[in-house]
Amino acid sequence: MDAATFRLLGHQLVDWIADYREQVETRSVMSMAKPGEVRARFPPTPPATGGHLAEALRTLERDLMPGITHWNHPSFFAYFPSNTSYASILADIVASGLGVQGMSWQTSPAATELEEVVMDWLRQMVGLSTAWTGVIHDTASTATLCALLCARERASSYAQNAKGLQSGEAPLVIYASDQAHSSVEKAALLAGLGRAHLRLLDSDDRHALRVDRLKSAIEADRGAGLRPCAVVATIGTTGTTAMDPLEDIAAVAKQHRLWLHVDAAMAGTAMVLPECRQMWEGVEAADSLVFNPHKWMGVGFDFSAYFVRDPEHLIRVMSTNPSYLRTAQDGEVKNFRDWHIQLGRRFRALKLWFFLMDVGVEGLQARIRRDLQNARWLADRVKDAKDWVLMAPVSLQTVCIRHVPDELQGDEEALTCHNLEIARRINESGKAYLTPSMLKGRQMLRVSIGAECTERRHVEAVWSELLSSVTHQH
Protein backbone atom coordinates (compact mmCIF):
# COMPACT_ATOMS: atom_id res chain seq x y z
CA MET A 1 0.00 0.00 0.00
CA ASP A 2 1.33 3.43 -0.83
CA ALA A 3 0.96 6.51 1.34
CA ALA A 4 -1.81 7.95 -0.82
CA THR A 5 -3.96 4.86 -0.37
CA PHE A 6 -3.23 4.88 3.36
CA ARG A 7 -4.40 8.49 3.57
CA LEU A 8 -7.57 7.68 1.68
CA LEU A 9 -8.46 4.56 3.66
CA GLY A 10 -7.32 6.10 6.94
CA HIS A 11 -9.67 9.05 6.48
CA GLN A 12 -12.44 6.64 5.56
CA LEU A 13 -11.93 4.57 8.69
CA VAL A 14 -11.72 7.60 10.98
CA ASP A 15 -15.08 8.68 9.58
CA TRP A 16 -16.42 5.15 9.83
CA ILE A 17 -15.52 5.05 13.53
CA ALA A 18 -17.03 8.49 14.13
CA ASP A 19 -20.23 7.39 12.37
CA TYR A 20 -20.23 4.21 14.43
CA ARG A 21 -19.85 6.06 17.70
CA GLU A 22 -22.47 8.63 16.78
CA GLN A 23 -25.10 6.00 16.06
CA VAL A 24 -24.02 3.21 18.42
CA GLU A 25 -27.10 3.81 20.56
CA THR A 26 -29.31 2.53 17.72
CA ARG A 27 -27.61 -0.87 17.76
CA SER A 28 -28.36 -3.91 19.84
CA VAL A 29 -25.87 -3.81 22.74
CA MET A 30 -25.14 -7.53 22.77
CA SER A 31 -24.38 -9.23 19.50
CA MET A 32 -27.19 -11.50 18.33
CA ALA A 33 -24.85 -13.63 16.24
CA LYS A 34 -25.10 -17.38 16.52
CA PRO A 35 -21.95 -19.46 17.01
CA GLY A 36 -20.18 -19.90 13.68
CA GLU A 37 -22.18 -17.23 11.89
CA VAL A 38 -19.38 -14.70 11.54
CA ARG A 39 -16.76 -17.33 10.74
CA ALA A 40 -18.87 -18.62 7.87
CA ARG A 41 -18.62 -15.25 6.13
CA PHE A 42 -14.88 -15.59 5.62
CA PRO A 43 -13.14 -17.90 3.15
CA PRO A 44 -11.32 -20.93 4.57
CA THR A 45 -8.02 -20.07 2.88
CA PRO A 46 -5.94 -16.89 2.85
CA PRO A 47 -5.95 -14.59 -0.18
CA ALA A 48 -3.23 -15.55 -2.65
CA THR A 49 -2.99 -12.06 -4.08
CA GLY A 50 -3.24 -8.65 -2.47
CA GLY A 51 -5.03 -5.43 -3.27
CA HIS A 52 -8.29 -6.41 -1.63
CA LEU A 53 -8.26 -4.19 1.44
CA ALA A 54 -10.47 -1.39 0.15
CA GLU A 55 -12.98 -4.05 -0.83
CA ALA A 56 -12.74 -5.68 2.62
CA LEU A 57 -13.46 -2.36 4.30
CA ARG A 58 -16.69 -2.14 2.39
CA THR A 59 -17.78 -5.43 3.96
CA LEU A 60 -17.13 -4.41 7.57
CA GLU A 61 -20.71 -3.50 8.25
CA ARG A 62 -22.14 -6.64 6.66
CA ASP A 63 -19.64 -9.25 7.82
CA LEU A 64 -18.18 -8.02 11.05
CA MET A 65 -20.64 -5.74 12.82
CA PRO A 66 -23.33 -8.38 13.45
CA GLY A 67 -20.71 -10.10 15.62
CA ILE A 68 -19.83 -7.06 17.71
CA THR A 69 -21.03 -6.56 21.28
CA HIS A 70 -20.85 -2.82 21.82
CA TRP A 71 -18.74 -2.01 24.86
CA ASN A 72 -19.01 1.72 24.18
CA HIS A 73 -22.81 1.63 23.97
CA PRO A 74 -24.55 3.86 26.54
CA SER A 75 -26.65 0.89 27.66
CA PHE A 76 -23.68 -1.38 28.27
CA PHE A 77 -24.02 -2.36 31.93
CA ALA A 78 -22.22 -5.71 31.80
CA TYR A 79 -18.91 -6.76 33.38
CA PHE A 80 -17.07 -3.55 34.12
CA PRO A 81 -16.90 -0.71 31.61
CA SER A 82 -14.02 -0.75 29.13
CA ASN A 83 -14.06 2.79 27.87
CA THR A 84 -12.10 3.80 24.83
CA SER A 85 -12.27 7.54 24.51
CA TYR A 86 -11.84 9.33 21.21
CA ALA A 87 -8.54 10.68 22.53
CA SER A 88 -7.33 7.12 23.10
CA ILE A 89 -8.16 6.12 19.57
CA LEU A 90 -6.17 9.08 18.29
CA ALA A 91 -3.24 8.10 20.49
CA ASP A 92 -3.32 4.60 19.09
CA ILE A 93 -3.06 5.98 15.57
CA VAL A 94 0.21 7.59 16.63
CA ALA A 95 1.41 4.51 18.52
CA SER A 96 0.62 2.15 15.65
CA GLY A 97 1.89 4.59 13.05
CA LEU A 98 5.25 5.09 14.69
CA GLY A 99 5.46 1.36 15.42
CA VAL A 100 8.31 1.75 17.89
CA GLN A 101 9.37 -0.63 20.63
CA GLY A 102 9.77 0.68 24.16
CA MET A 103 11.52 -2.38 25.55
CA SER A 104 14.71 -0.48 26.32
CA TRP A 105 15.24 3.22 26.80
CA GLN A 106 17.44 3.39 23.72
CA THR A 107 14.91 1.71 21.45
CA SER A 108 12.81 4.88 21.76
CA PRO A 109 13.65 7.19 24.65
CA ALA A 110 10.37 9.05 24.23
CA ALA A 111 8.37 5.90 24.93
CA THR A 112 10.14 5.34 28.24
CA GLU A 113 10.22 8.96 29.33
CA LEU A 114 6.63 9.83 28.43
CA GLU A 115 5.64 6.74 30.41
CA GLU A 116 7.58 8.05 33.41
CA VAL A 117 5.81 11.40 33.05
CA VAL A 118 2.23 10.15 32.72
CA MET A 119 2.59 7.40 35.31
CA ASP A 120 3.75 10.01 37.76
CA TRP A 121 0.78 12.20 36.80
CA LEU A 122 -1.45 9.21 37.47
CA ARG A 123 0.18 8.62 40.85
CA GLN A 124 -0.59 12.18 41.83
CA MET A 125 -4.14 11.97 40.49
CA VAL A 126 -5.05 9.06 42.76
CA GLY A 127 -3.30 10.54 45.77
CA LEU A 128 -0.40 8.12 46.16
CA SER A 129 2.81 9.34 47.79
CA THR A 130 6.11 9.79 45.97
CA ALA A 131 7.23 6.45 47.40
CA TRP A 132 5.47 4.75 44.46
CA THR A 133 6.79 4.21 40.95
CA GLY A 134 4.47 3.24 38.13
CA VAL A 135 4.83 1.17 34.98
CA ILE A 136 2.28 0.30 32.32
CA HIS A 137 1.25 -3.35 32.22
CA ASP A 138 -1.19 -4.85 29.76
CA THR A 139 -3.77 -6.23 32.18
CA ALA A 140 -4.38 -6.58 35.89
CA SER A 141 -4.12 -10.36 35.53
CA THR A 142 -0.53 -10.04 34.41
CA ALA A 143 0.25 -7.42 37.03
CA THR A 144 -1.16 -9.58 39.80
CA LEU A 145 0.92 -12.50 38.56
CA CYS A 146 3.98 -10.24 38.71
CA ALA A 147 3.03 -9.21 42.23
CA LEU A 148 2.74 -12.79 43.45
CA LEU A 149 6.02 -13.68 41.74
CA CYS A 150 7.68 -10.75 43.50
CA ALA A 151 6.14 -11.88 46.78
CA ARG A 152 7.32 -15.44 46.18
CA GLU A 153 10.85 -14.29 45.53
CA ARG A 154 11.03 -11.95 48.52
CA ALA A 155 9.74 -14.63 50.84
CA SER A 156 12.08 -17.25 49.45
CA SER A 157 15.21 -15.08 49.20
CA TYR A 158 15.14 -15.30 45.40
CA ALA A 159 14.59 -19.01 45.10
CA GLN A 160 14.18 -18.55 41.34
CA ASN A 161 17.93 -18.13 41.11
CA ALA A 162 18.46 -21.42 42.93
CA LYS A 163 16.03 -24.33 42.99
CA GLY A 164 12.84 -22.38 42.45
CA LEU A 165 9.99 -23.84 44.43
CA GLN A 166 11.51 -27.27 43.97
CA SER A 167 13.72 -27.20 47.04
CA GLY A 168 11.41 -29.04 49.37
CA GLU A 169 11.32 -26.10 51.75
CA ALA A 170 8.21 -25.22 53.69
CA PRO A 171 5.49 -24.16 51.23
CA LEU A 172 4.58 -20.50 50.75
CA VAL A 173 0.94 -19.52 51.23
CA ILE A 174 -1.20 -16.78 49.62
CA TYR A 175 -4.28 -15.17 51.19
CA ALA A 176 -7.22 -13.34 49.64
CA SER A 177 -10.96 -13.18 50.16
CA ASP A 178 -13.44 -15.48 48.51
CA GLN A 179 -14.51 -12.42 46.49
CA ALA A 180 -11.04 -11.84 45.01
CA HIS A 181 -10.86 -11.81 41.23
CA SER A 182 -10.25 -15.10 39.46
CA SER A 183 -6.87 -13.73 38.34
CA VAL A 184 -5.58 -14.06 41.91
CA GLU A 185 -6.26 -17.77 41.87
CA LYS A 186 -4.85 -18.05 38.36
CA ALA A 187 -1.71 -16.18 39.39
CA ALA A 188 -1.18 -18.35 42.46
CA LEU A 189 -1.52 -21.51 40.37
CA LEU A 190 0.70 -20.27 37.55
CA ALA A 191 3.31 -19.13 40.07
CA GLY A 192 3.57 -22.75 41.11
CA LEU A 193 2.23 -22.26 44.61
CA GLY A 194 -0.63 -24.72 44.25
CA ARG A 195 -4.27 -24.57 45.17
CA ALA A 196 -3.49 -26.19 48.50
CA HIS A 197 -1.54 -23.08 49.44
CA LEU A 198 -4.14 -20.52 48.44
CA ARG A 199 -6.55 -19.41 51.15
CA LEU A 200 -9.69 -17.79 49.79
CA LEU A 201 -11.05 -16.58 53.10
CA ASP A 202 -14.62 -15.98 54.09
CA SER A 203 -15.88 -12.49 53.48
CA ASP A 204 -18.28 -10.63 55.73
CA ASP A 205 -21.83 -9.65 54.93
CA ARG A 206 -20.56 -6.64 53.02
CA HIS A 207 -18.46 -9.13 51.01
CA ALA A 208 -15.17 -7.79 52.33
CA LEU A 209 -12.31 -9.91 53.64
CA ARG A 210 -12.66 -10.81 57.30
CA VAL A 211 -9.47 -9.86 59.08
CA ASP A 212 -10.16 -12.28 61.92
CA ARG A 213 -10.17 -15.09 59.36
CA LEU A 214 -6.95 -13.79 57.87
CA LYS A 215 -5.25 -13.80 61.28
CA SER A 216 -6.41 -17.23 62.22
CA ALA A 217 -5.47 -18.67 58.82
CA ILE A 218 -1.98 -17.25 59.10
CA GLU A 219 -1.59 -18.64 62.58
CA ALA A 220 -2.88 -22.04 61.55
CA ASP A 221 -0.50 -22.12 58.61
CA ARG A 222 2.45 -21.10 60.73
CA GLY A 223 1.47 -23.76 63.21
CA ALA A 224 1.45 -26.33 60.41
CA GLY A 225 4.95 -25.33 59.36
CA LEU A 226 3.93 -23.39 56.28
CA ARG A 227 5.26 -19.95 55.29
CA PRO A 228 2.65 -17.18 54.87
CA CYS A 229 3.86 -15.19 51.87
CA ALA A 230 1.39 -12.63 50.54
CA VAL A 231 -2.09 -11.22 50.95
CA VAL A 232 -4.12 -9.69 48.13
CA ALA A 233 -6.55 -7.00 49.25
CA THR A 234 -9.25 -6.08 46.78
CA ILE A 235 -10.53 -2.53 46.60
CA GLY A 236 -13.67 -2.94 44.56
CA THR A 237 -14.31 -6.63 44.00
CA THR A 238 -15.60 -7.82 40.64
CA GLY A 239 -18.76 -9.27 42.09
CA THR A 240 -20.03 -6.33 44.10
CA THR A 241 -17.22 -3.70 44.31
CA ALA A 242 -16.71 -4.63 47.95
CA MET A 243 -13.83 -2.96 49.78
CA ASP A 244 -11.47 -5.09 51.82
CA PRO A 245 -10.42 -3.32 55.07
CA LEU A 246 -7.01 -2.29 53.84
CA GLU A 247 -5.67 -0.60 56.94
CA ASP A 248 -6.35 -3.64 59.12
CA ILE A 249 -5.00 -6.01 56.50
CA ALA A 250 -1.87 -3.88 56.21
CA ALA A 251 -1.31 -4.18 59.95
CA VAL A 252 -1.52 -7.96 59.74
CA ALA A 253 0.74 -8.02 56.71
CA LYS A 254 3.28 -5.92 58.53
CA GLN A 255 3.20 -8.07 61.62
CA HIS A 256 3.74 -11.27 59.64
CA ARG A 257 5.94 -9.69 56.98
CA LEU A 258 3.59 -10.63 54.16
CA TRP A 259 3.73 -9.00 50.75
CA LEU A 260 0.64 -6.82 50.42
CA HIS A 261 -0.75 -6.52 46.91
CA VAL A 262 -3.73 -4.25 46.30
CA ASP A 263 -6.06 -5.15 43.45
CA ALA A 264 -7.95 -1.93 42.75
CA ALA A 265 -8.49 -2.79 39.08
CA MET A 266 -11.90 -1.12 39.00
CA ALA A 267 -11.84 1.19 42.02
CA GLY A 268 -8.50 2.84 41.34
CA THR A 269 -10.15 5.24 38.95
CA ALA A 270 -12.49 6.45 41.71
CA MET A 271 -9.46 7.64 43.63
CA VAL A 272 -9.19 10.66 41.36
CA LEU A 273 -11.96 11.89 43.67
CA PRO A 274 -10.55 12.94 47.04
CA GLU A 275 -13.86 12.00 48.66
CA CYS A 276 -13.30 8.34 47.63
CA ARG A 277 -9.81 7.92 49.01
CA GLN A 278 -10.95 6.73 52.40
CA MET A 279 -11.83 3.54 50.51
CA TRP A 280 -8.19 2.60 50.29
CA GLU A 281 -6.93 4.14 53.49
CA GLY A 282 -3.83 2.10 54.33
CA VAL A 283 -2.66 1.77 50.73
CA GLU A 284 0.66 3.37 51.53
CA ALA A 285 1.61 0.26 53.47
CA ALA A 286 1.21 -1.97 50.42
CA ASP A 287 4.06 -3.37 48.36
CA SER A 288 2.29 -3.35 45.02
CA LEU A 289 -0.89 -2.00 43.53
CA VAL A 290 -2.69 -2.40 40.24
CA PHE A 291 -5.57 -0.53 38.71
CA ASN A 292 -6.95 -0.31 35.22
CA PRO A 293 -7.24 3.05 33.49
CA HIS A 294 -8.56 0.92 30.61
CA LYS A 295 -11.74 0.22 32.53
CA TRP A 296 -13.79 3.11 33.83
CA MET A 297 -11.29 5.89 33.20
CA GLY A 298 -11.35 5.91 29.41
CA VAL A 299 -7.82 4.99 28.37
CA GLY A 300 -8.38 2.37 25.68
CA PHE A 301 -7.44 -1.23 26.38
CA ASP A 302 -4.77 -2.30 27.12
CA PHE A 303 -3.46 -0.06 29.90
CA SER A 304 -3.04 -1.36 33.42
CA ALA A 305 -1.19 0.79 35.92
CA TYR A 306 1.14 -1.20 38.15
CA PHE A 307 2.73 0.67 41.04
CA VAL A 308 5.48 -0.66 43.25
CA ARG A 309 7.40 0.67 46.20
CA ASP A 310 10.61 -1.19 45.42
CA PRO A 311 11.40 -1.12 41.69
CA GLU A 312 14.80 -2.69 42.33
CA HIS A 313 13.11 -5.79 43.65
CA LEU A 314 10.75 -5.94 40.67
CA ILE A 315 13.70 -5.63 38.29
CA ARG A 316 15.64 -8.30 40.13
CA VAL A 317 12.73 -10.72 39.68
CA MET A 318 11.91 -9.80 36.09
CA SER A 319 15.18 -8.88 34.41
CA THR A 320 17.38 -10.84 32.11
CA ASN A 321 20.42 -9.28 30.58
CA PRO A 322 21.44 -10.94 27.33
CA SER A 323 24.16 -9.16 25.42
CA TYR A 324 21.89 -8.34 22.48
CA LEU A 325 19.74 -6.20 24.77
CA ARG A 326 22.53 -4.23 26.45
CA THR A 327 22.86 -0.58 25.57
CA ALA A 328 25.26 2.23 26.41
CA GLN A 329 22.73 3.91 28.69
CA ASP A 330 21.99 0.94 30.98
CA GLY A 331 22.34 2.02 34.59
CA GLU A 332 21.31 5.61 34.06
CA VAL A 333 17.87 5.00 32.50
CA LYS A 334 14.85 2.77 32.97
CA ASN A 335 14.58 -0.26 30.70
CA PHE A 336 10.93 -1.12 31.18
CA ARG A 337 11.36 -4.59 29.63
CA ASP A 338 12.65 -5.54 33.10
CA TRP A 339 9.46 -4.37 34.81
CA HIS A 340 7.14 -7.15 33.59
CA ILE A 341 6.89 -10.49 31.83
CA GLN A 342 6.91 -9.33 28.22
CA LEU A 343 9.94 -8.07 26.37
CA GLY A 344 8.39 -6.03 23.54
CA ARG A 345 6.27 -2.99 24.40
CA ARG A 346 3.88 -0.76 22.50
CA PHE A 347 4.03 3.01 23.05
CA ARG A 348 1.01 2.98 25.36
CA ALA A 349 1.89 6.09 27.36
CA LEU A 350 0.52 8.15 24.47
CA LYS A 351 -3.00 7.02 25.33
CA LEU A 352 -2.96 8.43 28.84
CA TRP A 353 -1.25 11.60 27.68
CA PHE A 354 -3.79 12.30 24.92
CA PHE A 355 -6.66 11.38 27.23
CA LEU A 356 -5.61 13.79 29.96
CA MET A 357 -4.85 16.60 27.54
CA ASP A 358 -8.36 16.16 26.20
CA VAL A 359 -10.41 15.85 29.40
CA GLY A 360 -8.17 17.21 32.16
CA VAL A 361 -8.32 15.95 35.71
CA GLU A 362 -11.38 18.05 36.47
CA GLY A 363 -13.26 16.73 33.46
CA LEU A 364 -12.51 13.18 34.51
CA GLN A 365 -13.60 13.88 38.08
CA ALA A 366 -16.92 15.28 36.87
CA ARG A 367 -17.64 12.16 34.82
CA ILE A 368 -16.74 9.78 37.65
CA ARG A 369 -19.02 11.74 40.02
CA ARG A 370 -21.82 11.50 37.43
CA ASP A 371 -21.49 7.72 37.35
CA LEU A 372 -21.45 7.41 41.14
CA GLN A 373 -24.60 9.52 41.30
CA ASN A 374 -26.29 7.43 38.62
CA ALA A 375 -25.54 4.28 40.60
CA ARG A 376 -26.96 5.82 43.79
CA TRP A 377 -30.05 6.86 41.88
CA LEU A 378 -30.60 3.29 40.69
CA ALA A 379 -29.89 1.88 44.15
CA ASP A 380 -32.55 4.19 45.58
CA ARG A 381 -35.08 3.01 43.01
CA VAL A 382 -34.32 -0.61 43.86
CA LYS A 383 -34.67 0.05 47.59
CA ASP A 384 -38.09 1.58 47.04
CA ALA A 385 -39.38 -1.06 44.62
CA LYS A 386 -41.53 -3.93 45.75
CA ASP A 387 -39.86 -7.34 45.40
CA TRP A 388 -36.53 -5.92 44.26
CA VAL A 389 -33.53 -6.43 46.53
CA LEU A 390 -30.11 -4.79 46.70
CA MET A 391 -27.65 -7.62 47.13
CA ALA A 392 -24.65 -5.58 48.30
CA PRO A 393 -23.67 -2.10 49.38
CA VAL A 394 -23.26 0.25 46.43
CA SER A 395 -19.81 1.58 47.12
CA LEU A 396 -19.02 2.59 43.56
CA GLN A 397 -20.92 2.35 40.28
CA THR A 398 -22.05 -1.26 40.27
CA VAL A 399 -25.53 -2.08 41.52
CA CYS A 400 -26.15 -5.72 42.38
CA ILE A 401 -29.81 -6.59 42.50
CA ARG A 402 -32.32 -9.32 42.13
CA HIS A 403 -36.02 -9.74 41.88
CA VAL A 404 -37.65 -11.78 44.64
CA PRO A 405 -41.39 -12.12 44.06
CA ASP A 406 -43.39 -13.32 47.03
CA GLU A 407 -44.19 -16.68 45.52
CA LEU A 408 -40.51 -17.54 45.05
CA GLN A 409 -39.30 -16.42 48.48
CA GLY A 410 -36.81 -18.88 49.87
CA ASP A 411 -36.67 -21.05 46.74
CA GLU A 412 -33.13 -20.38 45.53
CA GLU A 413 -33.42 -22.62 42.52
CA ALA A 414 -36.52 -20.88 41.29
CA LEU A 415 -34.98 -17.48 42.03
CA THR A 416 -31.98 -18.38 39.97
CA CYS A 417 -34.11 -19.36 36.98
CA HIS A 418 -36.28 -16.31 37.42
CA ASN A 419 -33.39 -13.84 37.50
CA LEU A 420 -31.48 -15.57 34.72
CA GLU A 421 -34.62 -15.23 32.65
CA ILE A 422 -34.75 -11.49 33.38
CA ALA A 423 -31.13 -11.16 32.24
CA ARG A 424 -31.76 -13.23 29.14
CA ARG A 425 -34.78 -11.16 28.14
CA ILE A 426 -32.98 -7.86 28.58
CA ASN A 427 -29.76 -8.94 26.91
CA GLU A 428 -31.56 -10.54 23.99
CA SER A 429 -33.79 -7.50 23.57
CA GLY A 430 -30.63 -5.62 22.59
CA LYS A 431 -31.79 -2.66 24.64
CA ALA A 432 -29.27 -3.15 27.44
CA TYR A 433 -26.58 -5.62 28.45
CA LEU A 434 -25.98 -6.70 32.02
CA THR A 435 -24.22 -9.59 33.73
CA PRO A 436 -25.96 -12.34 35.69
CA SER A 437 -23.65 -13.60 38.40
CA MET A 438 -23.71 -15.70 41.55
CA LEU A 439 -23.00 -14.19 44.95
CA LYS A 440 -22.38 -16.82 47.61
CA GLY A 441 -24.91 -19.18 46.07
CA ARG A 442 -27.47 -16.55 45.23
CA GLN A 443 -28.24 -15.46 41.69
CA MET A 444 -28.03 -11.74 41.09
CA LEU A 445 -27.91 -9.22 38.26
CA ARG A 446 -24.99 -6.83 38.05
CA VAL A 447 -25.79 -3.43 36.60
CA SER A 448 -22.39 -1.86 36.18
CA ILE A 449 -22.69 1.80 35.25
CA GLY A 450 -19.86 3.81 33.77
CA ALA A 451 -19.65 3.63 29.99
CA GLU A 452 -18.37 7.03 28.92
CA CYS A 453 -21.61 7.93 27.15
CA THR A 454 -24.02 6.55 29.75
CA GLU A 455 -26.24 9.37 30.99
CA ARG A 456 -29.01 9.29 33.59
CA ARG A 457 -31.61 8.60 30.89
CA HIS A 458 -29.90 5.32 30.01
CA VAL A 459 -29.96 4.22 33.63
CA GLU A 460 -33.62 5.18 33.81
CA ALA A 461 -34.23 3.12 30.69
CA VAL A 462 -32.55 -0.03 32.01
CA TRP A 463 -34.52 0.30 35.22
CA SER A 464 -37.74 0.48 33.17
CA GLU A 465 -36.63 -2.57 31.25
CA LEU A 466 -35.99 -4.44 34.48
CA LEU A 467 -39.40 -3.50 35.81
CA SER A 468 -41.22 -4.41 32.64
CA SER A 469 -39.30 -7.67 32.19
CA VAL A 470 -40.89 -8.77 35.43
CA THR A 471 -44.38 -7.57 34.57
CA HIS A 472 -44.06 -9.29 31.24
CA GLN A 473 -42.93 -12.51 32.82
CA HIS A 474 -45.79 -12.83 35.27
- Cα–Cα distances in angstroms (integers) from residue 281 to residues 126, 209, 246, 263, 278, in the given order: 12, 15, 6, 14, 5
DSSP at 474: -
State which of residues 25, 58, 61, 94 lies at the interface with a second copy (CB under 8 A).
94
Cβ neighbors of 9 (< 8 A, separation 6 or more) are 1, 53, 54, 57
- Under the criterion CB under 8 A, does residue 356 sit at the interface with a second copy? yes
DSSP at 185: H
C-beta closer to a second copy: residue 29 or 250: 29
Single out the segment in contact with a second copy by CB under 8 A; choices: 83-91, 249-257, 377-385, 464-472. Answer: 83-91
Q: Which residues inside 209-238 make contact with a second copy, applying CB under 8 A? A: 238
CA dihedral for 249, 251, 255, 258, sign (positive or negative): positive
Cβ neighbors of 467 (< 8 A, separation 6 or more) are 385
Single out the segment in contact with a second copy by CB under 8 A; choices: 67-75, 213-221, 280-288, 465-473. Answer: 67-75
- Under the criterion CB under 8 A, does residue 395 sit at the interface with a second copy? no
CA 200 to chain centre: 20
Q: Which residues inside 413-432 make contact with a second copy, applying CB under 8 A? A: 424
State which of residues 216, 341, 411, 455 lies at the interface with a second copy (CB under 8 A).
341
Q: Which residues inside 30-49 make contact with a second copy, applying CB under 8 A? A: 30-31, 33, 35-39, 42, 44-49
- CB neighbourhood size of 154 (10 A): 19
Q: Which residues inside 316-335 make contact with a second copy, applying CB under 8 A? A: 318, 320-325, 328-329, 332-333
- Cα–Cα distances in angstroms (integers) from residue 395 to residues 236, 240, 274, in the given order: 8, 8, 15
Give me the least distance between CB of 386 and a second copy, in Å please: 27
Give me the least distance between CB of 211 and a second copy, in Å please: 23
CB 244 within 8 A of CB 235: yes
Nearest CA among 326, 464, 447 for reference residue 81: 447
CB 215 within 8 A of CB 253: no
Q: Which residues inside 6-35 make contact with a second copy, applying CB under 8 A? A: 6-7, 9-11, 13-18, 20-22, 30-31, 33, 35
What is the pattern of x (binds a second copy, CB under 8 A) and - over residues 235-254? Answer: ---xx---------------
- Under the criterion CB under 8 A, does residue 178 sit at the interface with a second copy? no
What is the pattern of x (binds a second copy, CB under 8 A) and - over residues 95-114? Answer: -xxxxxx---xxxxxxx-xx
Q: Which residues inside 132-161 make contact with a second copy, applying CB under 8 A? A: 138-142, 145, 149, 152, 159-161
State which of residues 60, 131, 224, 417 lies at the interface with a second copy (CB under 8 A).
60
Give the C-alpha separation, 346 to 294, whole Å.
15
